[in-house]
Amino acid sequence: MSRRERSPSTPSSPREAKRQKLEAPLTSEDYKNGIMLAPMVRSGALPTRLFALKYGASLVWGPEIVDKAILHAERVVDPVTGVVNYNGKSRAIWSTHPIEKPYLIYQIGSADPELAVKAAKTVMNDVSGIDLNCGCPKPFSTSGGMGAALLTTPDLLCSILTALRSAMPPEISVSAKIRLLPTQEDTLKLVERIIDTGVSALTVHCRTRNMRKTEKATIERLREVVEFVEKMGKGVAVIENGDCLGYEDAKRVREITGAHSVMIATAAEANPSCFSPTPLVDVHRTLIPSYLRVSRYLGNHWANSKFCGIQFRGNHVQNTRADEKEFKDKFAKAKGYDHMDDVAGDWSQGKAEFEEICGIIEAR
């Protein structure tokens, strides 16, 4: 992936004053030869994205945010940490930090071209790409005609992408994430229409709308899709999503599918260091304490940090399953960061650990 740099802007913190660089826009090439963090509701929070970048994720997708939700949010920058919060009535609807901007894709849930454009314009100064969710099968998305419902309304789907590409400046990439349709013929017809809207990348979740993550992804169907896209000659990247377990497994997935890159969801939800050739083991000792310290420093809402932390798991070397159960029981009972003092240790380390993450990301 090419080196990415941020555009000059008014510094939001003392640290930001040291980062005045020219931005290199995302292109189709930036979506190739990488391993990406998938958009995940709740699990794809700012701390998780930062840890994924720390351990090698090429790009990171934020969780799907419905278009109308972000339109009424108030953008507030924390003067100490630099965190950018888009606040709703009671808490942040979405949060980001300038350090992740060169690698950050904002995913929109929408069934309306005009609203999608308004939502994209609201956040475009804080992201490098806009992605349209065309694959979520959950009722909160499909009931409004969004997500996987768009697969059955291709005219609407493509009109949203066309509107986004027309409205966004060239330095903001536009992409889409879909699921496979029941037949390969229908899938290819839809893919052709999407590619013609001018997207830079297309992510294909290798399950149909009615399949769930407990069912094996049909990744072998993707090779024909990739070859079809390449024959169109527009250089669009095709990203595989479904059943990739991490850095090493991505090699297997790309060999089977021919995909330009691989996107990870479930494995990253369990261990955001899965993007590394040597992912962390004994995560209750090696990952979670640091994750909590950084989350608290950045002001991440406790309920979200708790949700994410409970999902973390990995191979055991020194820890036992009994240790893991005891830890999760404690996590489940905790009602705030202060209830995890004996796990997190010295909370003041959070700032230094965040600075370390920034340094690793900047070193790219």
What pLDDT digit, counting tens, does each position of 241-291 carry? 999 999 999 999 999 999 999 999 999 999 999 999 999 999 999 999 999
For the entire predicted model, the pTM comes to 0.92
* Structure confidence at residue 10 (pLDDT): 34
* Structure confidence at residue 139 (pLDDT): 82
**Residue 109: how many CA atoms within 13 Å on its side-chain side?**
26
* Structure confidence at residue 127 (pLDDT): 98
Distances (CA, A) of 112 to 115, 159, 209, 270: 5, 9, 21, 34
Q: Work out the number of other CB atoms within 10 angstroms of the CB of residue 80.
A: 14
Alpha carbons 101 and 60: distance in angstroms, whole number: 10
Contact 197, 158 (CB under 8 A): yes
Contact 229, 204 (CB under 8 A): no
* Structure confidence at residue 330 (pLDDT): 87
E strand or H helix at 4, and its extent?
A: none
| Residue owning tokens 């789907």 | 157
Query: What are the residue ranges in the chain where pLDDT is below 70?
Result: 1-23
Residue 335, Cβ density class (10 Å: 0-12 exposed, 13-18 middle, ≥19 buried): exposed
Q: Which two tokens stand for residue 209?
A: 């709308």
* Structure confidence at residue 94 (pLDDT): 97
Alpha carbons 36 and 71: distance in angstroms, whole number: 27
Point out the residues that are catalytic: 136
Q: Which two tokens stand for residue 230?
A: 């390449």
Task: Using alpha carbons only, give the angle 48, 50, 55 rounded to the nearest 5 degrees.
Answer: 95
Length of the chain: 364
For residues 68, 174, 51, 254, the Cα torsion angle rounded to the nearest 10 degrees is 130
* Structure confidence at residue 316 (pLDDT): 83
> For residue 192, which amino acid is it?
E
* Structure confidence at residue 317 (pLDDT): 87
Task: Using alpha carbons only, give the angle 117, 121, 123 rounded to the nearest 5 degrees.
Answer: 125
* Structure confidence at residue 12 (pLDDT): 39
* Structure confidence at residue 14 (pLDDT): 37
